Structure 1
């Protein structure tokens, strides 16, 4: 698509070659937000999310969830007021504005929903997703770490579409800047290539837009678009989830690519710099926060191939609280065992330095679990047995007759 901003130079690119088992300790119900994946598609299906993630559609990345103080006061999980603690809302991300926009979009495109948009194509669905990396870019500019931000970009889209059981086929990127720095752009796109290799998809093409005076010097913006496919009789849509099914969590590498508006506010409040070590750790804050998002494609597709997977939730913005219920049928919810995995140190620092409430943390960040699979009890036993030696997955909860998510 061509846009004009002053002396806008656009460069089109095209390249076609290119669980450790845990003991359940089984509190507070939170708002139930669910979107059905198993809709009938007669024509086009749109990829907007009714759940709050710094993701499914970047159109409302900057108006995404921050739990309001009044909600936290009523949440037994949070207990205290947020008078002195930071919230996503106070960091500039407004859940009310985002909610209103989604309602308006839903009226115009009633087929929306899910982590990826499904389009009927013969005996398969094409599954599409689009995303960016949010204000994690600000940290890339400050740290000078640009060679992994492309991995983040690919991860956010391919991790979305694999939740339907889709294998990614190809990826497109959009890179925009005021003045094209070829060496910098090469680093970013190398990360995109790395991400595509990790997810076994092709970087099919992209767009480089040079738009003078539109971005600050040395800064750029990114977005990405992934398309995959899954057979219609193999799609993962959550409709056969039942009470007693098990939630399996796959570890994250850290913050991934969500919640950085709040992260940056916490960083400013802490008085530390990105060059300072993460308290108690041997890595700097910059290194910990810039750790690239895990690409779960190969792992998830391998697990799916062995059977028993009924639903999958990509844990992005909205955390467990908003993302897990999106895959459940009516009348079902989740109980999460809070101590069933080790929360990475970076989240403990964010919470302590920003005095962030428990409920706020769980609705903004992944807290160390980047993907949740809802599986049968038989599949859970197999997965946990296989993961025992490697700690690659955890039993983090169960499906219960309820709505929303409870923590205990």
Structure 2
């Protein structure tokens, strides 16, 4: 084979040296999130983590998630500074609703060409904040250059996974829910990471520019890209002091699909909508765009909470078995 026909992996668009350089540059950042149970560091074939010794009958709780088209909006606005927190939040919030303490977190970042400087910036500024807020360790993942499959330097997908642990006798699964239980909502920081296909459509139809449109003294983009609130520490503190019967993380599907997932048969949640404070960023385009209120409650008011169970004025019944 002559030089003219000789090809390397790098010629094909995959830079292995860049991948190795990335791992070396983020080791210090990853170390900041370390838990005592984590064994070893980055670079192994798999991450090792022992179970905390305080658990007598530990049950592992796992989850995989993403941020949907909020990532597309962040790319369009060239602002990725909150997405790392969003990704951690979407996973660990799903774990803690079952009473689980998050242990560790992994991500898979797929791009056409690996940009080491950008990836280092992402790891230095974003993951540690989310991991430290939730008490989980960033133990590894994959940053993949997918030449020819993903448009150059464009993110195709960014799924993440987390694993937590809960004492078997303390699993929160809704089985204790009974008539007379009180529903408590914890406020969100905004739309969180759901409903962004609708958000982006509203922006398109209304013609607003999120970068220049002012809302309460800040660009609309700041409100829309506000990081998803991580509820782990506050909820773990709550369940350590209060007998919580069930918790629902209101993501895609909102009240209608998430609350019923934790309601036993012959119970229903009754929600008083008049007690809500309307979220400004959800109505920032209201003069130009009319939304179907019933449909909005699903993805956008999913923005407005969390629940820990049962009684007020919109009746929501359990899912059929």
Name the TM-score, length of structure 1 as normaliser.
0.63
In structure 1, the residue matched to 2:49 is none
Identify which of structures 1 and 2 has the higher relative contact order when contacts are C-alpha pairs closer than 8 Å and 6+ apart: 1
Cα distance, 1:347 vs structure 2: 1.2
Distance 1:338 1:207, change over 3 A: same
1:162-177 map, 5 Å: 162-177=96-111
Q: 2:72 aligns with which of 113, 116, 138?
A: 138
Is 2:292 the partner of 1:357? yes
CA separation in 2, counterparts of 1:248 and 1:229? 24
The change in CA–CA distance for 1:336 and 1:204 in structure 2 (over 3 A counts) is same
Q: Which residue of 2 aligns with 1:187?
A: 121
**Residue 281 of structure 2 aligns to a residue in which SS?**
helix
Cα distance in 2 between the residues matched to 1:314 and 1:301: 14
Matches within 5 A, 1:226-245: 226-245=162-181
User: What's the secondary structure of 2:180's corresponding residue?
Assistant: coil
Q: Following TM superposition, by how much is the alpha carbon of 1:349 offset from its aligned partner in structure 2, in angstroms?
A: 2.7
Aligned counterpart in structure 2 of residue 339 of structure 1, from 252, 274, 281: 274
Which residue among 175, 194, 198 is the counterpart of 1:262?
198
Contact preservation (8 Å) 2:264, 2:318: no
* Cα distance in 1 for residues equivalent to 2:246 and 2:175: 8
Question: Contact (CA 8 Å) 1:128, 1:226: kept in 2 or not?
Answer: yes
Q: Distance in 1 between matches of 2:72 and 2:315?
A: 42
> Which residue is 2:159 aligned to?
223
Matched, 1:313 2:248: yes
Could you tell me how far apart the structure 2 residues matched to 1:366 and 1:127 are? 27
Answer yes or no: is the 8 Å Cα contact 1:149–1:292 preserved in 2. Answer: yes
Alpha carbon RMSD of aligned pairs, Å?
A: 2.4
**Counterpart for residue 217 of structure 2:** 282
Deviation at 1:291, TM superposition (A): 0.3
Unmatched 5+ residue regions in structure 2?
A: 1-11, 34-54
C-alpha distance in 1 between matches for 2:272 and 2:295: 17
Q: Which residue of 1 aligns with 2:260?
A: 325
Structure 1 residues without counterparts, runs of 5 or longer:
1-5, 19-120, 376-396
Q: How many residue pairs are counted as aligned between the two chains?
A: 276
Quote how far apart the aligned CAs of 1:9 are. 5.2
Cα deviations across residues 241-284 of structure 1 (Å, max 9, x unaligned)?
011111100010001111111111110001111212245x2111
**Cα distance in 1, alignment partners of residues 197 and 315 from structure 2:** 35
CA deviation after TM superposition for structure 1 residue 370, in Å: 2.7
Q: What's 2:59 paired with?
A: 125
